[in-house]
């Protein structure tokens, strides 16, 4: 039964990726390289998300994730919609009581890296300061959240260790 559920979750995730992850904001498509954050870096964010979500789902109880459309993206990350992005792949747990969020953005302009980093930090601060309502969820937002910058890519990973190590996998790229 657990395998069937994991397979269904993986299929649902793949379908949601096709609609939610990809280029956005008028950039030139595909995975580009950037120079912000100190080093050139190129990766396909949707493929990274798909691969690591599948691994986490196979390994255990990874939560059902929900891709953010443009309206939800702006609601959860105010100001992100105004930034020119080459790639956007943002997913949150379908149940608010679960602290799991994987949001990755590649910006077109290196000057926007800090803006995205600030938007992601504001999300963490908002969750810690009353957005999250359960003690375990608040704890995860305080202690299990990482903002990583590689080139023009800015990533927010929020998840307890038993959901996988997206931050470690991203740093290993």
Q: Is the whole-model pTM more than 0.85?
A: no
The predicted-structure confidence for 110-160, as pLDDT tens digits, reads as follows 999 999 999 999 999 999 998 888 898 999 999 999 999 999 999 999 988
pLDDT in the model for residue 13: 42
Domain range summary for the chain, segments of one domain joined by +: 2-171
The predicted-structure confidence for 100-114, as pLDDT tens digits, reads as follows 999 999 999 999 999
The predicted-structure confidence for 8-29, as pLDDT tens digits, reads as follows 444 444 334 333 454 444 333 3
CA atoms of 1 and 107, how far apart (whole Å): 41
CA of 86: how far to CAs of 10, 40, 53, 130, 134, in Å? 25, 15, 22, 32, 35
Numbers of helices and strands, H then E, in the chain: 6, 5
Percent of the chain topping pLDDT 70: 77
Angle between helices 45-59 and 2-20 (to 10 degrees): 170
DSSP string, 47-81: HHHHHHHHHHHHHS-PPPEEE--HHHHHHHSTTGG
């Amino acid at each position: 039964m657990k395998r069937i559920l994991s397979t269904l979750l993986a299929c649902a995730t793949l379908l949601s990726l096709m609609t939610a992850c990809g280029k956005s904001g008028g950039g030139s498509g595909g995975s580009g390289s950037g120079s912000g954050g100190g080093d050139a870096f190129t990766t396909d964010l949707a493929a990274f998300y798909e691969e690591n979500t599948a691994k986490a789902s196979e390994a255990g109880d990874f939560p059902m994730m929900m891709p953010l459309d443009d309206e939800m993206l702006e609601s959860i990350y105010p100001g992100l919609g105004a930034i020119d992005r080459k790639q956007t792949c943002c997913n949150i747990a379908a149940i608010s009581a679960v602290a799991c969020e994987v949001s990755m953005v590649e910006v077109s302009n290196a000057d926007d890296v800090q803006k995205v980093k600030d938007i992601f930090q504001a999300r963490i601060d908002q969750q810690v300061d009353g957005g999250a309502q359960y003690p375990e969820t608040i704890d995860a937002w305080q202690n299990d959240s990482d903002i990583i910058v590689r080139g023009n890519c800015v990533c927010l990973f929020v998840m307890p260790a038993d959901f996988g190590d997206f931050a470690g996998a991203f740093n290993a790229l």
